[in-house]
Structure 1
Amino acid sequence: MLRFDDLQLFVRAADLGSLSAAARVMDLSPAVASAALKRIEQQLGTRLLARSTRSLRLTAEGEGFLEYARASLSALDDGRRLLASGQDHVSGVLQLSAPSDFGRNQLLPWLDEFQQQYPQLNVRLLLGDRIADLFRQPVDIALRYGEPEDSSLVALPIAPDNIRVLCAAPSYLARHGEPQHLEQLAQHNCLLYMLGSRVHDHWGFYDGKRHVSLTVSGDRFSDDADVVRRWAVAGMGIAYKSWLDISTDVLAGRLRLILPQLRGERTPLNLLCAHRAQLSKPVNLLRDMLVSRCAILTAQRPGRTATGQ
């Protein structure tokens, strides 16, 4: 098969009337240029250029082939331009899965803005807190909290510094008082949800010197994290939630952070896909937007230090 760079060298040499001049333009050594011309002549089975120490001219076969070489190079350039224009054009279908709470309360408005910017892009969104099977479900990517258990998945960080925080509605704290120490959580109604296949009732923290944890209890739990957020906003108890999920409620005053000096469990948000080939231009554009938006929310977390701890 003829090589693209060999065709380029032949056309340049014909245009310049010199193999050495063509080599200089293409930043090749004379030996490499000579070998390339020899290779293309051997593949075609004919002599294209008649060369002497001082001159170079096209043979009859070379003159006939030159037209086709130019047309081939021009067609390849057209193909490259077509691909480049297609890469700049964002369209098609973007299929993604996201956690219920983050999906409803953060991602939905962001996706609206994303589609306004790229109106020819269709979005198919699946919401749920169960791990999506990226090899079986009709999704390209999934947004999930925590480190992926499946090491075969490609995981790209979206919000690596995200943590869980304790929060409750001002109405609940007015009725029951605000805990001043972790041990006092035992006297409060804690709102629980499923984490994986179990109820997340063992809450861990770091106080700057050591890791501490305790088991909590409450009168309700759900397998939908958004339900727990709604219970918390309604004043039903204390929740231990991802900052990204409840940041809007805290900033709006619907929820208040409890013991913000404690650092909760790390809950990084990652973008998961089965193969890197699924990282299309729409996916990468969406990822860039999510990283930017989540970084703004992370920076607004009360009690966050300059190092993000």
Structure 2
Amino acid sequence: MTIQFGRAHFLGLDAAPEGGIKTYRAQVAEGTRRDGPLRRLQYLIKANYAFNYIWWFKTRSNDPARIARLGRLEKRLLQPLASTRAMTERAAEFANSDFHFASAMLDTALVSRFAEDLYKPQRYNDPYRSNFEHVGSPEQSDSPFLYMEPQALLENANFLEICASQAMIDFCREVLGPRAALSWAWSWISQPGHMPYQNQKWHRDVVEPLNFLRIFVPLQAIGSREDGPTELIPGTSQMREFYAMRRFSDQELEQTKVAKGAGVVFAEPGDVYFVNTFALHRGTPPGNRRAILTLLVSLSPSHRTPSIRKLRLREVPERLRPMIRANRSFFRHLIR
């Protein structure tokens, strides 16, 4: 159930924020969540706050100047002491270019273990198609994208170990401040042989919190266009053009690409790159099957965040608990 009041919405227990994400009632029915009056009330409060923060407050206008002003205000409200802190050199470079690349930030064996988890036969979905589901191996599907089921992803031990990288967390805090937190994640397999599909067309990520960044973790080598690299037009997050909630053509952006120096990102397993995806970007259709993990880190929760069941710390593998305890604020949306 969704009730609309002007631009605001009231979400009920049967609403899903994105394709592939189960509703609260469905999670209760399958035993993922425990139910009760207090739990339902807590969920409704969190879900409606997160949803309306995005769809009423944040996307009321995606004018970059407005977003920047509101983003500065949010930082002052949520972390007043940090708002006066000078930027580090690499955070300033990120703010200017919308991009930061870190070579060998992660253990390649860890990245390989997570890639194996993603490729195992399992239940896949597609956030762009609410009714799509594939159960089995990737080779058995001709769908252009196969996303790991969100709850399975956010509970995966190798995923959590990747997220606990102190170097990765430190950079997020340099850019966003000490309240930076992991608020969602996606991991998917891109299949070859398809026309450009959804995020393989030029766009901005406009339905994210005011202060956010995306972390990209390649799960295999991306050495050529055949491997489906990310393509980015750097320094476009502050542009006053092309901020509508739609996809753009190469022809529309040709002059901007030349002026700003569009480029593709090649990487090896273990490399990590950070992107302000309010800048213009796209994935490129691969000639080879390839996989990637991306994390959403923000100050405020995504509209998707309340739909995940939080883990208790005792449910996390023991080897990871010290790293998570040391960064409880970063994991506050996933682990209690």
Give the TM-score category using the shorter length.
under 0.3
After TM superposition, the score normalised by the length of structure 1 is 0.22
Relative contact order: is structure 1 or structure 2 higher (C-alpha 8 Å, sep ≥ 6)? 2
Structure of larger gyration radius? 1
